[in-house]
Amino acid sequence: MIRFTVIRLVEIAAMLVLMSFVIYGLIGLMPGDPIDLMMGADPHLSAADLARLKAIYGVDRPLVERYFAWAHAALSGDLGYSRLFAAPVVGTLLPRLGNSLILMGSSFVVAFAASLGLGIAAARRPRSRFDAAVNLACFAGVSLPTFWLALILILVFAQRLGWLPASGIGSGGNGGIADWLRHLVLPAATLTLANIGGYTRYVRATMRDALGQDHIRTARAKGASEARVVWRHALRGALVPITTILALSFGTLVSGALVTETMFAYPGMGKLIFDGVMGNDYNLALAALLLATAVAMLANLVADLAYAWLDPRVSYR
Amino acid sequence: MLSATGVSAHDQLTIGLVQFPATLNPNIDVMAAKNYVLGFALRPLTVFDADWKIVCLLCTELPSFENGKAVATELPDGKKGVNLTYTIRPDAMWADGVPVTTDDVKFTYEVGRGKDSPVANAELYRRITAVDIKDDKTFTLHVDKLTYDYGAIDDFVLLPAHLERPAFADPTQYRLRTLYATDPTNPGLYNGPYRISEIGSGSYIVLEPNPHWAGPAPYFRRITVRVIENTAALEANLLSGTIDMVAGEVGLPLDEALAFDQRHGGGFNIVYKPGLTFEHIDCNLDVPALADRRVREALLLGLDRETMVKTLFAGRQAVADSFVEPQDAGFTDDDVPHYRYGPARAAQLLEEAGWLKQPDGTRKNADGKTLSLELATTAGNRSRELVEQVLQSQWKSIGVEIRIHNEPARVLFGETLLHRHFHLAMYAWSSAPENAPRSIFRSDEVPSEANSYAGENLGDYKNPEMDRIIDALEIELDAKKRKGLWAQAQRLYATDLPSLPLYFRSDAFVLPKWLSGVRPTGNQYPTTLWVADWGEKK
């Protein structure tokens, strides 16, 4: 197990190095550098201004040279400055990362807990009215576009009822934790509703499969209570595929939710990555994408390790 | 009435914008959102006001030949320069209590002239060959070109030397070390009625009154600028009361504002202000079909712009006959060719140009080539995409095939237009009042590798007469003669048609009914510069 883990960690490190080069190159291939974009906003820039600015921003050097300069600095812990936010990348990234972890984490926990309950209940009563109602609600949740759902929630809870604020993460620093939580409710609810359908469908399907297994029939024949059969025997078997979904979802915790963040003006990682890529902010985009990649890969490693813990038949050598 | 935070709503104001400023340093980068926010907190020396007149904000009096504060000089090369003397308002203070002085002027000039300085537009500083300091408040600028707008030094926005000087020790690092980036809530960075007191990066900016502001006390004890990039969410926030108003300068596009007006206009005061943003279609004159003036005229005649503006924009935007906005001092209607909708004449011109109508409705020339052009604009800009549909349909009826090729703004402006890989391109030019069209029409302003792709003459328009008019216009001090030159430029433009004029864009300001004093300017200066006039209606 230790050997497996070490090998996977080395693979992840190698993959990150490769990804950093690929991402840097891909951003570099996009048309227009930051100075070209600046020129579009200010037609009075002269040729001399452009040459001077390109040198200051370092975009006059070949892409490969720029990449190695970045990599050298990154290895010594300096991820550089964000051009868009005029601040060090780490200082820009960390607050957004915190915001995304809170938003995505809270919606993930609520969505997963609810889908576990709903999925198991529906699996236990297949083709019942309850199962049909859960299925219908799941399809509705999966089909609704996130931006539309967000707008409806804003219109109902912020405009009509006036219960909750429609955007941002606070009322400008004077509202305390209650104010912060009130701002979190609508974006978290949007993500929860958007995700709960998919998770429930998955839990229901895996639980249905698990409940039909021979060892479940044996457990029932031995007189185990229904609760023990479901929670102890069936769920344990269903958890392996569910863990895969959990691991994949975990990666999104740091890559954020672009649409939801945009609709609620919520400063998270999704919007940061989008702005970094579109604004040719190499340092910012690269750091954010690498962080998302690293978390996704580590989550997969954790999932692999969890398989062995959940299923004694799985072992790594 | 209580706001969501439980504080009386009318002693504070929350404004919605669709863009967050990248940097707050006034001299680095150009961005409408930054100008809007800094309008609350920093006073430029001079600006154009809502009547499009140059006025002093931080100085006491505009220099002129009449008051002796402008003195023409003879330069060694025989050209005329000018010495301009300004006095900073005696009561002007940074919000940390330090007076605004000529030390700030000296430092700002040093930053602007620095070889490795990140100042975006260094043209103004290049033109200022020296600065003489008379005392703490009075200074003289030596300018190497005497232009008609000599009194305006709008981009010379003072930086606080007492705070910023250490950050400029290494000019190449200034953009990263400026306190506007590292410590943007430092009160000493601001000298306007408000100072920035809190920033939620990418999310909101809070402004509070500058305790050392000597002008009329601003009404609101707190102004919050919230950034909500999605315009549907912006509207929902407005309706929910999370924001009180939407800034016209960086807010709702006109078509969305009109739709909002229809649905909820009764609850707000919606002001439409025509401005200097000129929507047009650039013609690449290197494309053989477009090099023929008759084809360009046919395209313009084949387009019913009046109906289009009425239908799509409820007539809130004026149809353009030239590049000069009707409110501008240089505008004239005399003898400028007008192109009213005339599809029959358009068809005739195309026939004369050798593009003959085919049975299938298209047109071909003697070489068998079809008259088919590519039209590019910014993808996702709903107004432009709507206009594009109209253009395509109306030009089809005169036999011109249009292939739509839209691209994201960064691709269109960063690559396609810059390298002139287009046939027709619909976008806008923004300018200032009485701004000579040097960058868009002068023959040496065509972007190319040789000039690092500077300049905005994307169509490759070259007419020595236009060059002469522009050169003469810039240095003509007599307003009457200048007006004559403006008229010549407009006539020549409307005759040559290097681009196809569409309309002048209007900004929509969605304001609460109780708010007073917001006076849209229609020029590049934001309403926020006059925030001291804002208040609650009695």
DSSP string covering B194-237, please? EEEEEEETTTEEEEEE-TT--SSPPS-SEEEEEE---HHHHHHH
Contact between chains at A52 and B456 (C-beta distance less than 8 A): no
Residues 243-302 of chain B whose Cβ lies under 8 A from any Cβ of chain A: none
B454 touches chain A (CB under 8 A): yes
For helices B254-264 and B305-313, angle between their N-to-C axes, nearest 10 degrees: 50
DSSP codes of every residue in B382-419? HHHHHHHHHHHHHHHHTT-EEEE--B-HHHIIIIITTT
- Which residues on B lie below 8 Å from A174 (Cβ)? 5
Q: What is the DSSP letter of B503?
A: E
Q: Pick B201's closest partner by Cβ from A30, A81, A92.
A: A92
Residues 6+ apart with CB under 8 A from A145: none
Q: What is the pLDDT of residue A111?
A: 92
pLDDT score for A277: 83
Inspect the interface and report whether the beta carbons of B233 and A42 lie closer than 8 Å. Answer: no
B122–chain A Cβ distance below 8 A for any pair: yes
Whether ipTM > 0.90 holds is no
B233–A92 CB contact, under 8 Å: no
Nearest CB to B411 within list A31, A48, A83: A31
Q: What are the CA-CA distances from residue B363 to residues A230, B269, B356, B424 (Å)?
A: 74, 49, 5, 18
> What would the DSSP string read from start to end of A151-184?
HHHIIIIIIIS--S-SSSSSSSS-SHHHHHHHHH
Q: Do A275 and B454 touch (CB under 8 A)?
A: no
Across the interface, of B116, B172, B181, the residue whose CB is closest to A87 is B181
Spatial distance between the Cα atoms of B329 and B439, rounded to a whole number of angstroms: 19
Give the separation between CA A56 and CA B274, rounded to whole angstroms.
38
In contact, B110 and B30? CB cutoff 8 Å: no
Query: Are residues A86 and B25, on separate chains, in Cβ contact within 8 Å?
Result: yes
Distance CA(B250)–CA(B464), nearest Å, equals 38
Place A302 in a pLDDT band, splitting at 50, 70 and 90.
confident
CB A41 within 8 A of CB B31: yes
For β-strands B245-246 and B12-17, DSSP reports them as: parallel
The CA distance from B254 to B227, in Å, is 18
pLDDT by residue, tens only, chain B of 538 residues: 334 444 445 899 999 998 888 789 998 877 788 999 999 999 999 999 999 999 999 999 999 999 999 999 998 888 899 999 999 999 999 999 999 999 999 999 999 888 888 887 677 888 899 999 999 999 999 999 898 888 888 888 999 999 999 999 988 888 888 999 899 999 999 999 999 999 987 889 999 999 999 999 999 999 999 988 888 888 888 988 889 999 999 899 898 999 999 999 889 999 999 999 999 999 999 999 999 999 999 999 999 999 999 999 999 998 998 999 999 999 998 889 999 999 999 999 999 999 999 999 999 999 999 999 999 998 888 889 999 999 999 999 999 999 999 988 767 887 788 889 999 999 998 888 888 898 899 999 898 888 777 778 999 999 999 999 999 998 999 989 999 999 999 999 999 999 999 999 999 999 999 999 999 999 989 999 999 999 998 7
Residues of A in contact with B25 (CB under 8 A): 86
Burial (Cβ within 10 Å: 0-12, 13-18, ≥19) of residue A310: middle
A278 contacts on B by Cβ (under 8 Å): 408, 410
| Whether B489 contacts B470, CB under 8 Å | yes
pLDDT value at residue A44:
67
Residues 6+ apart with CB under 8 A from B58: B43, B44, B45, B88, B89, B92, B100, B158, B191
Q: Answer yes or no: are the C-beta atoms of A49 and A241 closer than 8 Å.
A: no
Neighbours of B106 (CB within 10 A): 14
In the 3-class helix/strand/coil scheme, how is B106-170 assigned residue by residue?
HHHHHHHHCCCCCCCCCHHHHHEEEEEECCCCEEEEEECCCCCCCCCCCCCCCCCHHHHCHHHCC
Between positions 182 and 221 of B, the ones with CB within 8 A of A are: 182, 198, 200-204, 206
Q: Please say if the pLDDT value at position A174 is more than 80.
A: no
Closest C-alpha among B25, B68, B322, B73 to residue B186: B25
pLDDT in tens, A90-146: 888 898 888 888 998 899 899 989 999 999 999 988 889 999 999 999 988 888 888
Q: What is the pLDDT of residue B6?
A: 41
Angstrom CA distances, A165 to A136, A260, B326, stand at 30, 15, 43
Phi, psi of B427 (to 5 degrees): -160, -170
Using DSSP's 3-state secondary structure scheme, residue A306 falls into helix
Average pLDDT over residues A161-188: 82
Shortest alpha-carbon distance between residue A13 and chain B (Å): 30
Nearest C-alpha of chain B: how many angstroms from A206?
38
Q: Does B446 reach chain A within 8 Å, measured CB to CB?
A: no
Chain A contact set for B200 (CB, 8 A): 168-170, 172-173, 267
- What pLDDT score does B4 carry? 43
A55 pLDDT more than 70: yes
CA-nearest residue to B29 within chain A is: A38
Q: Is the pLDDT of residue A219 over 80?
A: yes
Q: Kindly state the average pLDDT of the residues A227-241.
A: 82
Nearest CB among B182, B203, B455 relative to A169 is that of B203
Greatest Cα pair distance, chain B, in angstroms, is: 80
Instruction: Give the Cα separation of B171 and B386 in Å (integer).
Output: 46
Task: Count the helices and strands in chain A (H runs, E runs).
Answer: 14, 2
Residue B13 near residue B223, CB atoms below 8 Å: yes
How sure is the predictor about A69, in pLDDT bands with cuts at 50, 70 and 90? confident
Largest CA distance in chain A: 86
Mutate to test the interface with A, among B237, B323, B429, B439 (most CBs of A within 10 A): B237
CB of B8 less than 8 A from some CB of A: no
User: A173–B206: do the CB atoms touch at under 8 Å?
Assistant: yes
Q: How far apart are CA B63 and CA B383, in angstroms?
A: 42
Whole-angstrom Cα distance, residue B240 to residue A182?
Answer: 15
Residue B14's pLDDT is what?
Answer: 94
Q: Cβ contacts (< 8 Å) between A30 and chain B: which residues?
A: 410-411
Q: Closest-CA residue in chain B for A154?
A: B236
DSSP B348-360: HHHHHTT-EE-TT
Tokens linked to B308: 């289009």
A50 contacts in B (CB within 8 Å)? 452-454
* DSSP letter string, A4-19: HHHHHHHHHHHHHHHH
Q: Which of A112, A113, A121 is nearest to A230 (CA)?
A: A121
- Number of Cβ within 10 Å of residue B347's Cβ equals 20
**Distance of residue B9 Cα from the nearest chain A Cα, in angstroms:** 13
